[in-house]
Structure formats: structure tokens, C-alpha cells
Amino acid sequence: MSDIKIFTTGGTIDKVYYDAKSDFQIGDPQIEPILQEAGVTLSFEVQSLLRKDSLEMTDEDRARVREAVQQDSHQRILITHGTDTMIDTALALGDCADKTVVLTGAMQPARFRITDAVFNVGFALGVAMSHPAGVYVAMNGQVFDPRKSVKNRAEGRFEASQ
């Protein structure tokens, strides 16, 4: 069995923009190229669950993610996810606390020359491999408890909630 299971759900990290006037599309998951280019030596398995902008995710989609996490035999799981509703999905995973589950994403697509995707994925992988069982959001060098955090859309970052 691999060291970690990675589920992809879409979001900005996997977005493709064809030109300034076109709509985006969710492309192929970018997690494998990111990890390969980074020289990650852990063994991992990737499974694509969804290819959606997180604003389009439904309660049924979150249930599908929760079921995949619960049914998987891995104890360490990383989920790439759109940032707008990442907290919602993390909260839906609250009953998966017997595993270490980390959600991460990006504010800029992984395909862009300047992106936070590579850093966020590497950081989240480290969190998944080093933290005890629980559900976490790992973004921009910080680990958040989804029950006590929010996305600050104006600043483009996650923060602890008051």
C-alpha cells in the first residue's frame, strides 16, 4: 500500500484558461506532475473524484468525498479542492477523524508560471504525513481547524475565525 492517498475534486488548482475572454474549464488533475517535479519520494495513489469548481459542489458531492475517505484503507489522505467551499467539505469530513485528512488548493492555477499550488501541495503533504488523526486545511504555510477558520476572499487567504 502507498504512503498516502490523494483525492482530487477540481478547483482552481486544476483550472485551464484558454484566453482572456474564455471561460475556464477544470482540466486534468495537476497533483501528480507537481509531486513528480518536486522529487517527492513518498509513494502515493491519486484518484479523481470530481472535476468541479468548488462553488458548484453540492451536498451530494461532499457525501461522495466523505464516503471515498471513509472507504479507503489509507490512514493519511490529501484532498485537492477549490478554496471557496473547502471549509464546507472539511466540515463534512468531521466524522473521519480516525484518519489524517488534509485539504489544500490554490488561489492561482497550477499551470500558471506564478502559482501558490506547488507550495500548498508540498506543505499539505508534510502536514498529512506529520499530524495526528483529524481533518485539517493546509493553505499558505498554515494549518487550520476547519471549525475555527474562514476564507478571507478580499485578502485571498485563510484565517482563524473569531
Domain ranges of the chain: 4-160
Report the C-alpha gap between 6 and 9 in whole angstroms.
10
Question: Which of 8, 9, 12, 85 is an active site residue?
Answer: 12
118: helix, strand or coil? helix
Report the C-alpha gap between 12 and 110 in whole angstroms.
8
Check if CATH label 3.40.50.970 holds for domain 4-160: no
Residue 54 assigned to a binding site: yes
Residue 98 assigned to a binding site: no
Known active-site residue 85: no
Of all residues in the chain, the percent with pLDDT exceeding 90 is: 74
| Predicted confidence (pLDDT) per residue in 68-109, tens digit | 999 999 999 999 999 999 999 999 998 787 999 999 999 888
Confidence band, pLDDT 50/70/90 cuts, at residue 21: low
| Predicted confidence (pLDDT) per residue in 40-72, tens digit | 999 999 999 999 989 999 999 999 999 999 999
Helix (H) and strand (E) counts in the chain: 4, 10
